[in-house]
Amino acid sequence: MVESEPAPNDDYEHPDGLEYILESVLMPSDGSKEFKCLADEYNSVLLNPCHCKGACENSEVCPHAGQYEFTGDGSELILRNSANPVIDLICCINTCSNRLVYSGPRKHLEIFDSPEYGSKGLRSTVKIPKGGYICEYAGELLTVPEAKRRVHVNEKLGLMNYVLVLNEYTSDKKQQVTIVDPSRRGNIGRYLNHSCEPNCHIAAVRIDCPIPKIGKFYC
């Protein structure tokens, strides 16, 4: 039997009345072959649990423990400096201390009006440690043709573009493309702005599905 996942702990909301979702969802079906392939992946389940006892603190036993470590004072789980940017985190649900992203965005995030960008932005009211998890960039999962169509419409109408494309590579070979658009349905991650001097980075995090969650970590 497969144990069901608990819901992410996310009590944020949009100040502008958009539909708030806890994690990425499929775009509406357009009947295309590309959508069917996307839906098949979305509805697939990856099973790779650990077999350790207790809280999975031993990295020699838990295959996922090597990705994270606790801060010096032991107060927070953070991404290791040496961790691969693509994280595979599929573990036991109730006891594993190495589960981070599925728990939901961190507390003390605040949406504000950013005069620098002329739009709303996202900031934390408390200090975030290096490697600290911020939130998932959640929205509608798109096919490549639909993403191109939406970008074209945004450019034509002069609308803001929220479409994020995550390309995963093994050596020089592209393995998977994940496209997320939170312009209509999304979470608090949509308020993160682009910058030439970024202070956070993206990691692909797989929980129980071939399609990764797009995790944002402070750097």
- Provide the CB-side half-sphere exposure for 119 (13 A, CA): 12
* CA separation for the pair 218, 129 (Å, rounded): 7
Say if CB 190 and CB 139 are below 8 A apart. Answer: yes
What structural domains does the chain harbor?
Answer: 19-218 (2.170.270.10)
Residue closest to 109 by CA, chosen among 11, 33, 206, 175: 11
* CA separation for the pair 219, 211 (Å, rounded): 24
Output the pLDDT for position 2. Answer: 45
Q: Supply the pTM of this predicted model.
A: 0.87
Q: Which residue has the higher pLDDT, 81 or 78?
A: 78
- The answer, yes or no, to whether residue 92 has pLDDT greater than 80, is no
* CA separation for the pair 47, 92 (Å, rounded): 10
Q: 126 pLDDT band (50/70/90 cuts)? A: very high
Residue closest to 147 by CA, chosen among 183, 200, 114: 183
* CA separation for the pair 42, 177 (Å, rounded): 13
Output the pLDDT for position 143. Answer: 98
